[in-house]
Chains A and B, each alone.
Chain A
Amino acid sequence: MAIKFEQVSFSYPSFDGKNFSALKNINLEISEKGEFITLIGETGSGKSTLVQHMNALIRPTTGSVTIYGIKIEKNTNKNKRIKLNPLRQKVGLVFQFPEYQLFEETVQKDIIFGPKNFGIKEEIAIERAKEIIKLVGLSEDYLSRSPFNLSGGEKKRVSIAGILAMEPDILVLDEPTSGLDPKGRDALLELFTSIHKELDKTIIVITHDMNTVYKYASRALVMYDGELVFDGVPNSLFSDKHITEWNLDLPDIIQITKQLEEKLDIKFDSKPHNVDELFNLVKGAL
């Protein structure tokens, strides 16, 4: 098991002086390979706080997070005896606006910044950058361009390349697709899927988009008011009666199928996952 949360709670003093519980008694296990996880829940439910525990950016107030065998607790590393850098290399975290973190003159310098910090030789890092830029769907000549003249989608790709260059086992992305147009969003999610499949990495994506959860995820985690209230497959999430209580909505395909069934007064034999499957059901019913 790559990451294990055991009875993790996290609280911080809020503006009115009381303690605010951002995480309450979280128990959770994440494998090193083969998972495509979406983490959902309304704003303020604790999603970002949860993922920041995954590479020891913050430490639990009570309980423990074990990351690749290293147990992180409240007072871990007060005396800096444990090196946290290797953990941060293994679990790569892409923040919500990764494009704001680009700062170098060229795309290549931005991509090799992380690996160099982790002690990789520059020549090797540059070779890696040439591979990775293609992996994120951009051509090699992007390496010599300034990151500031790129579109929003391209900047996101470059910043993801920078994290991939550190060769993490687990890639965590905080709302990577917000603000992208539908095609840009799909292209980025296809990219994560190919990284997940071809490089056999675990991907964790925070999102508000239920279509993304239904289409891409093998596992869904739902946070509500600091608690992990659901951990399972998307299919069972979207038939869970608590879904409105957690302030989530249903994927378009499920909503439209339900409405069609009501208006046509029929019941389809199966639950479609995409428009092609729905088309076949409608065709069969007419």
Chain B
Amino acid sequence: MNTIEIKDLSFSYSEDITALKNINLVIKKGEWISILGHNGSGKSTLAKLIIGLLKADKGDIYVDEVLLTEDTVHEIRRKIGIVFQNPDNQFVGVTVEDDIAFGMENLNFEREDMINKIVEYAKKVDMFEYISKEPHALSGGQKQRVAIAGILAMNTDIIIFDEATSMLDPKGRESIIGYIKELNKEGKTIISITHEMKEAVNSDRIIILKDGEVLAIGETNTILNDKEVLNSSNLELLLPLKLMYKLDEANIKNEKVKDILWQLSLNK
């Protein structure tokens, strides 16, 4: 079943700055898709269009077969949660608890239900002991976990991570990737925007944007290994694959080493 369908989508910020051109994309329910591309390729713009923060110049977006319009935008936002890049930009509450509640308040959850959910999801992301703390006293990784708890509490089927790990330290990054994996296992549809191939290897499919257009889309294993596509979009082959290419170029054929390098690039 498709959960998001994008047809001929175009968007410009101004007459001379076209951000997206004729995007066509289908995302299946329960799928984890990574969106990669150079700075300014249109990745975040696409995310903002999907949740209706921006309005397309042309084209349609369907979420669970409902066309995104001004009338349906609120209904659609109930289905999609988004975690942004800068954890400091998404906090509104005085305490962690307030922040987890914020999304639910917007969706008019019952008070009692809300309190139970705050506790449940603060525990789930391992932030229960911080529930009455000021969000600003937390580390970047902890803040992103609070943001995730808020989205989980809203129980959306789709979660977008817009470079949600790019400002975190190694430990924070690892913990967020761990949560994304878990959520995807539980059946959530994941759209993750990133520059890091290391993160994208976890997803089912990869879409690469270049100058506002889809440059490539395919299974992760295929895109991962596509040197030309990655190069032309300012991305980098994973180190084991770089080595594999070098061995190939030097005509050194060793299936065992090749196999090991492939496994290493998939983090296995």
Point out residues on A near B: beta carbons under 8 Å: 14-15, 41-44, 149, 151-153, 175, 178-184, 208, 210, 247-249, 252-253, 256, 259-260, 263-264, 275-276, 278-279, 282-283, 286
B130-154, CB < 8 A from A: 133-134, 136-137, 139-141
CA of A263 to CA of B254, assembled, Å: 14
CA of A15 to CA of B94, assembled, Å: 12
B150-200, CB < 8 A from A: 163, 166-173, 195
Chain B residues contacting A152 (CB-CB under 8 Å) are 39-40
What residue of chain B has the Cβ atom nearest to residue A211's Cβ?
B239
CA of A149 to CA of B242, assembled, Å: 35
Q: Is B85's beta carbon under 8 Å from chain A?
A: yes
Minimum C-beta distance from B174 to chain A (A): 8
Chain A residues contacting B264 (CB-CB under 8 Å) are 256, 259-260, 263
Minimum C-beta distance from B221 to chain A (A): 18
Chain B residues contacting A252 (CB-CB under 8 Å) are 239
Chain A residues contacting B169 (CB-CB under 8 Å) are 41-43, 208, 247
Residue of B167, B170, B239, B252 touching A248 (CB-CB under 8 A)? B170
Chain A residues contacting B243 (CB-CB under 8 Å) are 256, 275, 278-279, 282
Report the count of interface residues on B (CB-CB < 8 A).
40
**What is the 8 Å Cβ interface bit string for chain B, positions 188-218, against chain A (1 contact, 0 not)?**
0000000100000000000000000000000
B234-A184 in contact (CB<8A): yes
A15-B134 in contact (CB<8A): yes
A43-B141 in contact (CB<8A): yes
**What is the 8 Å Cβ interface bit string for chain B, positions 33-76, against chain A (1 contact, 0 not)?**
00001111000000000000000000000000000000000000
Q: A247-B169, A248-B170, A283-B250 are in contact. Are A181 and B195 (CB under 8 A)?
A: yes
B137-A15 in contact (CB<8A): yes
Chain A residues contacting B239 (CB-CB under 8 Å) are 252-253, 256, 275
Q: Is B123's beta carbon under 8 Å from chain A?
A: no
What residue of chain A has the Cβ atom nearest to residue B133's Cβ?
A15
What residue of chain B has the Cβ atom nearest to residue A177's Cβ?
B166
Jot down 17 A-B pairs with beta carbons below 8 A, ordered by A: A15-B136, A15-B137, A44-B139, A178-B167, A179-B166, A180-B39, A180-B195, A181-B37, A181-B38, A181-B234, A182-B234, A247-B169, A247-B170, A264-B256, A279-B243, A279-B247, A283-B252
Q: A179-B166, A181-B195 are in contact. List 14 more A-B contacts (CB 8 A).
A: A42-B170, A43-B139, A43-B168, A151-B40, A179-B39, A181-B37, A184-B39, A208-B168, A249-B170, A252-B239, A256-B243, A263-B264, A275-B243, A279-B250
